[in-house]
Structure formats: C-alpha cells, structure tokens
Amino acid sequence: MKSLLSLASKPLAFCALAALVTLGVPGQSRADDVLTLKLGHIQSEKDLWHFGAEKFKEELEARSDGKITLAIYPNSTLGGDRDLVEGMQMGTVDFGLIAGVLGNFERSIQLLELPYLFHSQDEFNTVIHGEIGGEIAQNVLDQANIRILNWWDRGPREVTSNKPINGLEDLQGLKIRVPEIPAMVTTWREIGANPTPMAWSEVYTGLEQNVIEAQENPIPFIYGGRINEVQKYIAFTDHKYEYVTIAMSNVRWQQLTEEQQKIVTEAAAAATEAENKAVSEQAEKLLQEMVDGGLQVTHPDNGPIAAAATKAHEAFAKDVNLDLYNRIQKTLGR
C-alpha cells in the first residue's frame, strides 16, 4: 500500500513511464513472453506462398528459441493486397506477401510490372538482386513506410482462357483479368486485349460466371487458386517474370530490438531460399497435375505479342521514372 501511495504522489508523467516499464511497449517483450507477429496473404493454403510463410514461421521460432512466432492469415483473411499494404502502413499488419500493388504506393516499382520487360528469370534476377533492386526497395521504404525484406520467385506469368491462344490475334478484345497495377493495364490494352482490374479473391467466381474470359498468373498461383477448374487452356506467353515481396511494416520493425530485427532478417532470407527452390522444383509437377485433369497447353508465337507490348513501355516509363527504366535496359545490355 505504501508503494502505491508513494507512486500516486508522483507527477503524472512519471506514473505513465512506470506503467510502460511494467507492461512493456508494442514490439518489445519481457524475457518470458512470446512475441506473435501477423502475416497476411491472398492465396490459399495450397499455394507455395503459404509454404513460404510457414517456413518463415518455422525459422522465426527456431532462431528466437520460441520467443518469436507468426500467425499466418491466408485467403485474403486480412483483406486484399491493398488492404494488407495499408495495414502495414498503420502497423496493424506486420508482414504481407505483396507484389505489384506496391506500385500504387511507390511508383518506381511499377516498372517491374511491364510485360516483356524481362526475357528470362535470369534477367529479372540480375536487376532485382542488384543495385536497381536495392534502390527500388529503398524508394518503397521512404515513400510507403514498407520494408522489403526479400524477393520471392514465382516463375513466368501465363494466360489461361476458355479458348486456345496461339498468337496475337487471339488476344484481341479478350476480357482478361489483371491485377490492380497500372503497368499491366496499359500494356495489355496496347496488346489489344480488354484488361479488367479485379481483386484476386473475385477471380474464380468471375471466370465461373463469365464476367471475365481469361486471367494470367504463374503456374503455382494458377494451381493454388484452382483456376484450372474454370478454364480450359493455358498459353505459355511468358510475358512477365514474376516476384512477390516478403514485406514488413516499418512501424513494427522500429518497435523491435536489434536482436529481433536480426532474427527477422535472417528468417526471411532462409524462407526465401526455401520458397525459390520449391517454385523451381514444383512448377512442372503442378502443371502436369492440371494437364492430367484436362487443362490444355498452347505455345503461341510470342514475338508479335511482345512487340505490341513493348510499344507501351517508353511512354509509361516517362510518366514513372524514365532514368530508372533506361538503367534497367542498360543493365540488361539493351
């Protein structure tokens, strides 16, 4: 009782400080506490994103001796991509697996979304794991307060549809779902299709009800979203070499201790290695499973499609960051 009376006689600021010492502050924990962080993504538990998220959880727990763990929310449980980014900005979501929608918050990353900018996975990796990738990640941190911990491979994006696609002519007027990413909308329009931005959570139903005729995504994403149940064909357009970032709220990052930050960084690197290996090893297997179930493969002439797409590049780059676009081209030897 004496100690309580003594505290009550102190100034209010001192009492507030004492309460913080007793209860702890967000992002920090007492030695006997477990810090639970939240990660959201838009895919199902069948997708390799979820495998990567579970690997991240496993690494966090192992490296922290169980003092840090991860609650994973798949299937857009915490909202779509934009919701996850906004949640990270506010600090209500700790991690998100986010791709091109980040371009709505920091424009330079939009250049990575231009179809046929990269001609192979190696070209993409050369840029994203080099100086330019670091510059883009810093831009995202500065402008959106989102920290890109690492980049996960997803493989090339392919088009699924209910009619065979063998060339540029088959894409004319095609009502194709694209993410809410300006670079993709602009380029698919230049190709001659009818791009329809739509949240991923609406795509299966949209295809089932013929609201849209086609969509495009990497093979593991198509498999995880069960798109083969509502589409008959997959065309190997290889129009975009794909990534997803394992991104973190900088609000939460700044609440962690240096040791916790080190654990998060190392766990993200380990999860990235496991995820990229899984994508490389399993894409062919997942495709074969869908083909065995009736999905038919076409191999269109991509030359004319790429030529049409690249007509949109320079004008789009001028509106975003022409110098950065030109440096990407130079890095690729073009």
Instruction: Assess whether pLDDT exceeds 60 at residue 37.
Output: yes
Q: Would you state the pLDDT for residue 20?
A: 35
For 153-173, what is each residue's pLDDT tens digit?
988 999 999 999 999 999 999
For 46-86, what is each residue's pLDDT tens digit?
888 999 999 999 999 999 999 999 999 999 999 999 999 99
Average pLDDT across the chain, whole number: 90
Categorize the per-residue pLDDT at 24 as very low, low, confident or very high, splitting at 50, 70 and 90.
very low
For 252-267, what is each residue's pLDDT tens digit?
999 999 999 999 999 9
Q: Would you state the pLDDT for residue 32?
A: 60
Instruction: Assess whether pLDDT exceeds 60 at residue 292.
Output: yes
Q: Would you state the pLDDT for residue 47?
A: 87
User: Beta strands of 171-289 (E only): which ranges?
Assistant: 175-178, 194-197, 214-218, 233-235, 241-249
Q: Given CATH 2.102.10.10, say whether it is the number of domain 33-331.
A: no
Q: What is the mean pLDDT of residues 307-322?
A: 95
Q: What is the mean pLDDT of residues 111-140?
A: 95
Burial class (CB in 10 A: 0-12, 13-18, 19+), 89: middle
* Region of poorest pLDDT, from 3-17, 45-59, 144-158: 3-17
Burial class (CB in 10 A: 0-12, 13-18, 19+), 54: middle
Contact 243, 279 (CB under 8 A): no
Alpha carbon 57 to its chain centroid, in Å, reads: 17
For 206-246, what is each residue's pLDDT tens digit?
999 999 999 999 998 899 899 999 999 999 999 999 899 99
Q: What is the CA radius of gyration of the chain?
A: 23
